[in-house]
Structure 1
Amino acid sequence: MTVIQIRLPKKRISRSWKGDVMLFALLALVGYFMALPLVFVISNAFKPINEILKFPPDFLVRNPTMTNFSDLYHLLAGSWVPVTRYLYNTFFIAIVGTAGHVIIASMAAYPLAKRHFPGKATLFTIVVLSLMFSATVTQITNYMTMSWLGFLDTHWAVIIPAIGSSLGIYLMKQYMEQIPDALLEAAEIDGCGEFRIFWTIVMPVVKPAWLTLIIFSFQGLWGAGGAAGAMYIYSEQMKTIDYALGQILQGGIIRTGPSMAATLLMLTVPIFIFILSQSSIIQTMSTSGMKD
């Protein structure tokens, strides 16, 4: 028996090493400018008050100090509501709102992506059109809805609108469309119901998409405490750390240093979550799709 070996020609890379160097230099330059705001925030958090108020300001700190963080700690310790309560409110809103948004958006996107029913195109058109309206446009409507539901001055006044955001439905629907229909048909032949197909097949396949959605949703809820605290939540013990820091740091120019430290601390959690899931974001944005 004769075995015939077929050798395929190796794929040639048309870009030369000079092109690689130029591309790397361009990406490094763009990355440098994108990192400048973050570096400036970190630098300001460790600057003494005389360097913060210097004009023109120095980009990097010359005499680093931890005074800003200690002053911020004493300001928070002097509040009549414990800082742990503010932190609990912030994490509760961010975690519950993010989890609810991911689950509801995924369940709503699944039939829009993989099932056929009357009015499907109209519903998706409404979802797409809703992306055109900013949060400012819908503030009055959201306030009236939360008032009718009796959710004002509760955490649900912030969580419910976040759960119903149309961004998650659009993102999950577009990603679920790339799942081969043959995979779902095989599961149906094996006797799987809709919920089992959704939880055990669809959701694991679209993991990069819902991890990306977690980052977007958590980041939005983490920084929404100030506006939400002023519009929906009135009780001091129900407000978030973002709102508390904004109120404490309105003491004039003398609190500029603690405000810089607070800005850095508020950025720490979203950046940490992004670092843990950055590969999923890249995979979601760069995927070319799954084919039958």
Structure 2
Amino acid sequence: MSAKSATARAQGKPVLGRFPLSLRALGYTAVAALGLLYIAPFVIQLATGFKTDPDAATHPLGLLPTTPTTAAYQRLFGLSQAGDGVPFLRWLGNSAFVAVVVTAGRVLFDSMAGYALARLRFRGRTVLFGFILAVMAVPGVALLIPRFLVLNSFGLFDTYTGMILPLMVDAAGIFIMKQFFESIPREVEEAARVDGADVLRTFWSIVLPMARPALLTLTILSFQGSWNEFTHFLVATQSSQYETLTTGLARLVSGGLGGGTQYPLKLAAALLATLPVAALFFCFQRYFVQGANAGAVKE
């Protein structure tokens, strides 16, 4: 056994050299096969977007279009000469607007609520946190009818306010921020109070900058959740002018925007709807992992 392997074994680290080369090759092959299996639907989706409708129906799993065409993307962006365009840009604008506003609201309000539950001592704090955990346990579909009734009673149905306001605070986000704030040493806040900072100044200027990993995690989850939200928009809106990518794609898939299979158009729209969230995750995945693990570590 080499000195390097002995040191790794003494530290409790796995030693790859102790496995036979054939076994390691088999493991790498299995991992590569699983990776290819995972990305295969996305590759098929990308290829189908450049097919014609007959080609997509005849060769649904083909990775090379028989006659490549950008007709599906031309329809999505209103460049088709046939006048059969799809209001994809309106869906995209509505989704982007709602997702940005909801994400900003969740980051602000969830972090404030999480800090209050983690650090402030007030009557009913434990009961309130129990209610938040209970909300996380309730399936969202069970609240659809009550949510519609509330929005309709307050005159918020079929408005941007009705689409955004119920999503501004998230129980899971509050839980994440509370757990992270509890991992921050109290000595930091005590030193700030000695210097004359009040609770709000301590939170905004001292604690919140230290919570950058958790804030980035919450930002990614909030943007992803609001971008992919479907059931809430289904009961909160009725007019086509408020359609988002999820509700618009649902109408497209159900045949509400033309006849035929339209596989290239549907898969091209789904691919474009996936790209913003995928790009956001890949850009900040390192911070996402840090934030997900930080709350589990207590000083």
Scaled by the length of structure 1, the TM-score of the pair is: 0.83
Report Cα offsets for 1:30-72 as digits up to 9, x if no partner.
54443333333223323333442236x4252344432321233
How far apart are the structure 2 equivalents of 1:228 and 1:125? Answer: 24
Q: Would you say how many aligned residue pairs link Structure 1 and Structure 2?
A: 280
Gaps of 5+ in 2: 1-5
> Does the 8 Å CA contact 2:110/2:173 hold for their aligned counterparts?
yes
Gaps of 5+ in 1: 1-10
**1:112-166 deviation per Cα after TM superposition (whole angstroms, max 9, x unaligned):** 1122222222111111121111210111121122223221111121212211321
Deviations 1:156-182, CA, capped at 9 Å, x for gaps = 212122113211111111111110011
Which residue type is aligned with residue 194 of structure 1? V
What does residue 16 of structure 1 align with?
15
Give the residue type in structure 2 aligned to 1:58: L
Name which of 131, 154, 157 aligns with 2:159: 154
Residue type matched to 1:265 in 2?
A: L
Alignment correspondent of 2:297: 289
Give the AA of the match of 1:109. Answer: G
Determine the structure 2 residue equivalent to 1:258: 265
1:119-198 aligned at under 5 Å gives the runs 119-198=124-203
Paired residue type of 2:180? Y
8 Å contact 1:76–1:83 — kept in the other structure?
Answer: no
Q: Tell me the amino acid that sits aligned with residue 63 of structure 2.
A: L
2 CA distance for matches of 1:158 and 1:19? Answer: 57
Change (3 A) 1:84 1:70: closer
Q: Match of 1:271, as an amino acid? A: A
Over the aligned positions, Cα root-mean-square deviation in angstroms equals 3.0
The structural deviation recorded for 1:246 is 3.7
Tell me if the contact between 1:81 and 1:236 (Cα under 8 Å) persists in the aligned partners.
no
Instruction: Give the direction of change, closer, same or farther, for the CA distance of 1:85–1:33 in structure 2 (3 Å limit).
Output: closer
- The equivalent of 1:232 in structure 2 is 236
Give yes or no for contact 2:183–2:297 (8 Å, CA) kept in 1.
Answer: yes
Q: For residue 137 of structure 2, give the secondary structure of its aligned residue in structure 1.
A: coil
Task: Return closer, same or farther for 1:38/1:197 CA change in 2, 3 Å cut-off.
Answer: farther
In 2 relative to 1, CA 229–132 (structure 1 residues): closer, same or farther, beyond 3 Å?
closer
TM-score if structure 2 supplies the norm length? 0.81
Cα distance between partner residues in 2 of 1:62 and 1:79: 22
